[in-house]
Chains A and B, each alone.
Chain A
Amino acid sequence: MNIVVCVKQVPDTWSERTLRESDSTLDRDAADAVINELDEYAIEEGLRLAEAHGGEVTILSMGPDRATEAIRKALSMGADKAVHLVDDALAGSDLLGTSAALAAVLGQIGFDLVILGSESTDARTGALPAMLAERLGVPQLSYASKVEVDGSAISIHRLADYGYDTVEATLPAVVSVVEKINEPRYPTFKGIMAAKKKPVQTMSLADAGIDPATVGLANAASEVTGWAKRPPRQAGTIVTDEGDGGAKAAGFLAERKFI
């Protein structure tokens, strides 16, 4: 099975994240960069499927030069090879641009199964897997907490408030995973050393046959027109229990639609 796992490098959620004054995009240099957390689950699932059914795991990452760190880590976890889509013209791409670019590369390199994390910790839209499936014209199996492959049949448990739905499709397909699905492995030193020798193919827009007019900040369909720092946390509401504390607390939560 030819499995492609999409991996995004994001600023570490442990470090302070800020937007740039100049163009309202994330200041990626100011923070430590790591693999998007859910993508580690996607990599793990890819590796497990390849171990169980045979095949290869390819990492696909779109991002600046620095994203090679994330690619190396994915390779040191055990993926076989990687494709790095890197081009200055891609900076600031929105979901439309990103999904178009990734779809173009996927179309070129081919796949049986594409696995992604269900969202990234920086943008948090959670829409990319669906848009990618649409562009590729293949079924999407999103929010998977379990994946099973049997020949060309694939089925997942889709996590829902009430439990899960079982969703089935035929390969090729796009799957997005949630963190319940597995426990990602840490790379071993042997894996780290082996990753040095694994092939990483870099592709530019031209290599992937992507029209520069469809990507980048200038061609984004949405625009950040303004932003503000999160206001400092307000003092909490104190509920005094006069025998009705439970009801008051529940009322407070219900008012804010938490329950």
Chain B
Amino acid sequence: MIGFSLDDEHEALRRTVRDFARQAVTPVIGEFYQRGEFPYELVTEMGKLGLFGLPFPEEHGGMGGDFFAFCLALHELARVDSSVAITLEAGVALGAMPIYLFGTAEQRERWLPPLCRGERLAAFGLTEPGGGSDIPGGMRTTASLDDGSWVINGSKSFITNSGTAITSLVTALAITGRSDDRPEISAIIVPSGTPGLTVGPEYSKVGWCASDTRELSFSDCRVPAANLLGERGRGYAQFLRILDEGRVAIAALAAGLAQGCVDECVRYAGERSAFGHAIGHYQAIQFKIADMEARAATARLAWYDAAARLVAGEPVKKQAAIAKLTAGEAAMANARDATQVFGGYGYMNEFPVARFYRDAKVLEIGEGTSEVQRMLIARELGLGRPAR
């Protein structure tokens, strides 16, 4: 029979990250969040803890763990805060992973070790102002070869980790030609500071306020031809794999947020009293929290399943979409209920549940909207392919 209990090593990792989140993140994150400031010190600490190197082999400066371990870390961080969790998620699953999976020996050697140590961050630029769900329909960014260089023109929206002081590169997807009248898409590594790359100001976001999200524009931005990542024309196919993994990771993060809502509510329901009893005495509150726990547990099982398949090398497309959908919606529902349990305090930014409320919505949007997840599940079921 199957079982979902963690082995000793993963359990030890889970506890370590939990301790770190409670001891190092909880006390300071609210201030960063309210100031909309990127928490460099925490990212450095997460780097020392080896979190950015979790799924990578030791020869590249990694921890020799697996993708499941990485997801566990996201889950435990997001129980406390999603800004640091998304910084880790995007840095590893979108930033470093493509270089590890598709990079040449030189590219890996040059970029991976500082990324694995969390001393540097990498970003991944897929979404454009013209659309994120419809790739490549919404894509306009182009790259053409000229005298041994790629010349990139276009722009990218909502790119996580792209404008921090420690960002070392963004991998940009660009149209590099046409074949059979379809756009040929390739991935190109653009080092930070390359002339022609302009990093926009930090967006004013509803949530994830202590994470870095920017618009990027490329204007005759030249990088060496050798910065092509993976095969020319394989950009989109490569990134379908990255996106599947990313969905599992976001599902873990969302399940963590959903669980964090339960953690906060269980405590508060015992402390806060009204009409002569702790509010947890009333069945209306008990049932609300019971529903929250059920959603959090379901979300966790969904990402455990998807991540376990991923590590085993099994097909994961449908399970990844199911996990992302289930966990994203669980996070949103739990955040809404948690805010309700906290009453007026739940609406005050200094309370974690208010942060959870603001952070939850994007989990139904980023790395594929809930609609896109449903499209993927339907497609896996053999239902009609969506129109381009």
Contacts and interface: CB of A to CB of B under 8 A. Distances in A.
Interface of A: 72-73, 76, 185-190, 192-193, 195-196
A188 B50 contact: yes
A180 to B, nearest CB: 16
Contact of B65 (A76, A189, A195): A189
B16 A187 contact: yes
A178 B276 CA distance: 44
Interface range, B side: 10 to 19
Contact of B50 (A72, A190, A196): A190
Interface stretch (B7-15, B77-85, B208-216, B322-330): B7-15
B64 interface: yes
B63 A189 contact: yes
A186 B16 contact: yes
B294 interface: no
Contact of A189 (B19, B48, B69): B69
26 contacts: A72-B8, A72-B12, A76-B12, A185-B48, A186-B48, A186-B49, A187-B12, A188-B48, A188-B50, A188-B63, A189-B9, A189-B13, A189-B50, A189-B54, A189-B63, A189-B65, A189-B69, A192-B9, A192-B12, A192-B13, A193-B9, A193-B64, A193-B65, A195-B12, A196-B8, A196-B9
Interface string B47-63: 01110001000100001
A121 B332 CA distance: 39
Contacts of B12: 72-73, 76, 187, 192, 195
B268 interface: no
Contact of A188 (B8, B19, B49): B49
Contacts of B102: none
Interface string B206-245: 0000000000000000000000000000000000000000
Contacts of B64: 189-190, 193
Contacts of B69: 189
B100 interface: no
Given A72-B12, A188-B50, A193-B65, 11 more contacts: A188-B63, A189-B9, A189-B13, A189-B65, A189-B69, A190-B58, A192-B12, A192-B13, A193-B64, A196-B8, A196-B9
For the complex of A and B, 10 pairs with smallest distance between CB atoms: A188-B50, A189-B63, A189-B65, A192-B12, A190-B63, A186-B49, A192-B9, A186-B16, A189-B13, A187-B16
B347 interface: no
**Centre residue among B12, B48, B64, B69 by max chain A CB count within 10 A:** B12
A44 to B, nearest CB: 13
Contacts of A190: 50, 58, 63-64
A188 B63 CA distance: 8
A186 B9 contact: no
Contacts of B13: 189, 192
Nearest to A188: B50
- Chain B at the A interface: mostly helix, strand, loop or mixed? helix
A76 B69 CA distance: 16
Contacts of A185: 48
A219 to B, nearest CB: 35
A187 B69 CA distance: 14
Nearest to A68: B8
Interface string B178-217: 0000000000000000000000000000000000000000
A48 B174 CA distance: 49
Contacts of A73: 12
A77 to B, nearest CB: 10
A188 B69 CA distance: 12
A73 B19 CA distance: 13
B8 A186 contact: no
A186 B73 CA distance: 13
Interface string B1-41: 00000001100110010011000000000000000000000
Contacts of A76: 12
Contacts of A189: 9, 13, 50, 54, 63-65, 69
B45 to A, nearest CB: 8
Contacts of B9: 189, 192-193, 196
B89 to A, nearest CB: 17
A186 B54 CA distance: 14
A190 B51 CA distance: 10
A72 B7 CA distance: 14
A7 to B, nearest CB: 15
A73 B64 CA distance: 18
A196 B10 CA distance: 12
A188 B48 CA distance: 8
A186 B19 contact: yes
B280 to A, nearest CB: 16
A101 to B, nearest CB: 27
A187 B64 CA distance: 14
Contacts of A192: 9, 12-13, 16
Contacts of B50: 188-190
**Centre residue among A187, A188, A189, A192 by max chain B CB count within 10 A:** A189
Nearest to B70: A189
Contacts of B58: 190
A115 B19 CA distance: 24
Nearest to B58: A190
Contacts of A195: 12
**Centre residue among B16, B20, B65 by max chain A CB count within 10 A:** B16
Contacts of A72: 8, 12
A91 to B, nearest CB: 25
B20 A186 contact: yes
Interface string B104-125: 0000000000000000000000
A189 B50 CA distance: 7
